[in-house]
Amino acid sequence: QMQLVESGGGAVQPGSSLRLSCAASGFEFSNYAIHWVRQAPGKGLEWIGVVSYDGARANYTDSMKGRFTVSRDNARSTVFLQMNSLTTEDTATYYCAKDSFRCTVNSCSSGRFFFYMTLWGKGTMVTVSS
């Protein structure tokens, strides 16, 4: 059964850093890009970024570039979201999600490597408060 499980959330103070993990199982992890999406309490979905199937490329929404970093370890079937200089505005549930497109070296060597999200984790809550 395909599954994504996020972990690493919790309560932190403004200015802190936090690293979230997303552990995958049940599918060929190393062939798919993985996204991070967050949702502040009572608000809509906000895309954070995506890492390519091989970890060589990552794209981010402009507002989080430079502060958030997505990476992956294919040997451990895990994706990470490193978040620095957290503010109260970063309080949200953070989801990882599997992309729809199965990449190979030929199909994703350049250009597009992400599309839409077919599998989501249950999310991990991050609360930033003093």
Q: Which stretch binds other proteins (CB under 8 A): 12-20, 21-29, 40-48, 79-87?
A: 40-48
50 forms part of the interface with other proteins (CB under 8 A): yes
Strands 58-60 and 68-73: unpaired
Cα 126 from Cα 33, distance rounded (Å): 23
Site string for other proteins, 93-112 (x = CB under 8 A): --x-x--x----------xx
Pairing relationship of beta strands 117-120 and 92-99 according to DSSP bridges: antiparallel
Residue 68 half-sphere exposure toward CB, CA atoms < 13 A: 25
13-21, 24-32, 41-49, 75-83 -> range binding other proteins (CB under 8 A) = 41-49
N- to C-terminal Cα separation, the chain: 40
Using CB under 8 A as the criterion, which residues of the chain lie in contact with other proteins when the complex forms? Answer: 35, 37, 44-47, 49-50, 59-62, 95, 97, 100, 111-112, 114-118, 120-123
